[in-house]
Amino acid sequence: MSFTRLLIGAALFMASLAVQAESFSKDTAPDPVSRDVLSRTLTRLDEGSAAGGDSAYRIHRNFPQIIEQNFARLDARGMANLVEVLNEAELSDMAQLYANASSERGLAPKLLHVLAHRMDARNLGRISRHFGFAQVYGAVTAVAPGKTQDFLRHSDTRHQGPAPGELRFGPSGRFAPGAVRTTLTMPSVDRSAWSGSFRMMPAGYRAQSPGYMLKTGGGEFLNYTPYEIYLSFRTSPVGALSVQGALWETSTVLSNKLGPAGFTGYYIGTFLVLPLVQAYAPDFYNALGGTIANMVDMLVSGFQNGPAAAAQAERTTAIQMQSTPAQINGFSSWGGDYGAAADWASSYGGGGGMRLNQYPVFSQ
């Protein structure tokens, strides 16, 4: 996707937000599937995790609901604008990770029914490139049969959807930039670090494959969670305005959760955030990739030194990460998406309260 297209898409999305100050709720959503999705919305990515518990497990478990509610809240215009700003790698990875997390829990995938209800045939055709022709066709005929013929004109029966359980995302994604395929080899962790109990493997040890890491018990965190966090933010109101802002929100969650568990900012920045930058913002990686670890180290240090220090670190790094002015406003005014900038909003916010994952009117 060209930079110009990204700018146009972001502008359209912002215009949609300006028109739609309030998003759909369980009472106002126009279709029964969306009303069902919005009947139990989450306000934190790791909602349901106990204090000191395994946040990574909860984030992975909550991922289908987060993606569904991010789209279910949008009207037709907002939904089209959101899909417009997502690039091929983001859509492809979202389809794979959504299929993985849904199938693991035996959940009925509701996302395609939400999209089919109020998305136009052209965008549904693009969605089918990543979620599969048969899957999208089934959703269209079930909830919006009047779109069937137009959808057939904009899709291809050869489009195959993701097979649940595959690791085709990030460096291995179907639309991954070429540069990401030579990304850094990640040190292995033999336990879930999110619970505070982890042990680095001996120096020089490297896991042989992502599949191996899944079998060791650390794979859910190391392989899935950073990508799920990023896509959760990227499909949220503030994160949708630019890749860099969504990457920054992801960095705050990883720093906040992993710093207390003993991970350094260098580790988090180099092995968890940097691959995301390579995958979804290769131009940004080429320009500022070398500074990512320093930014994350500042966040880790801030979270370890109390709310005031965390707020200052959030404000400084969001600017360094080249978040847009509208995103900066969202972070400082109500804490961004799912409370990613909670300390910043509490210390420097405009007094409007924290409207987690709502659809505000941005000042420009």
Structure confidence at residue 261 (pLDDT): 80
Q: Indicate the residue type of 196.
A: G
Structure confidence at residue 354 (pLDDT): 36
**171-228 pLDDT per residue, tens:** 899 998 864 544 444 454 443 444 433 333 323 323 323 322 222 233 344 567 999 9
- Give the residue with greater pLDDT, 195 vs 307: 307
CA 235 to chain centre: 6
Structure confidence at residue 349 (pLDDT): 60
Q: In 3-state terms, what secondary structure has residue 208?
A: coil
Rg of the chain, C-alpha, whole Å: 19
Structure confidence at residue 211 (pLDDT): 29
Q: Indicate the residue type of 318.
A: A
pLDDT score of 27 more than 60: yes
CA 253 to chain centre: 11
Torsion of the alpha carbons at 234, 236, 238 and 240, rounded to the nearest 10: 40
Say how far apart CA 328 and CA 309 lie, in whole Å.
18
**55-76 pLDDT per residue, tens:** 888 899 999 999 999 999 999 9
Q: Among 5-9, 187-191, 215-219, 267-271, name the most confident range.
A: 267-271
Q: Return the structure tokens found at 101.
A: 């997390």
Structure confidence at residue 207 (pLDDT): 31
Structure confidence at residue 262 (pLDDT): 83
**131-180 pLDDT per residue, tens:** 999 999 999 999 999 999 999 999 999 999 999 999 999 989 999 886 45
User: How much of the chain, in percent, has pLDDT values that exceed 90?
Assistant: 65
Structure confidence at residue 223 (pLDDT): 64
SS3 content of the chain, % helix, strand, coil (to 5): 65, 0, 35
- Give the residue with greater pLDDT, 209 vs 264: 264
State the pTM of this model: 0.83
CA 147 to chain centre: 29
Say how far apart CA 88 and CA 91 lie, in whole Å.
5
- Min mean pLDDT across 39-48, 263-272, 283-292 is at 283-292
Average pLDDT of the chain is: 81
Q: How confident is the model at residue 48 (pLDDT cuts 50, 70, 90)?
A: confident
Which is nearest to 189 in space by CA: 226, 218, 166? 218
Say how far apart CA 203 and CA 284 lie, in whole Å.
31
- Residue 225 phi/psi, 5-degree rounding, is -60, -45
**75-129 pLDDT per residue, tens:** 999 999 999 999 999 999 999 999 999 999 888 899 999 999 999 999 999 999 9
Structure confidence at residue 4 (pLDDT): 44
Q: 10 Å Cβ neighbour count for 266? A: 14
Which is nearest to 330 in space by CA: 310, 312, 309, 315? 315
- Give the residue with greater pLDDT, 204 vs 268: 268
Tally DSSP H helices, then E strands, for the chain: 20, 0
CA 89 to chain centre: 12
Q: Return the structure tokens found at 268.
A: 């988090």
**334-358 pLDDT per residue, tens:** 999 999 999 999 987 654 333 444 4
Residue 237 buriedness (CB in 10 A; 0-12 / 13-18 / 19+): buried
Strand partners of residue 200 = 189
User: Please, are residues 308 and 210 in contact by the beta-carbon 8 Å criterion?
Assistant: no
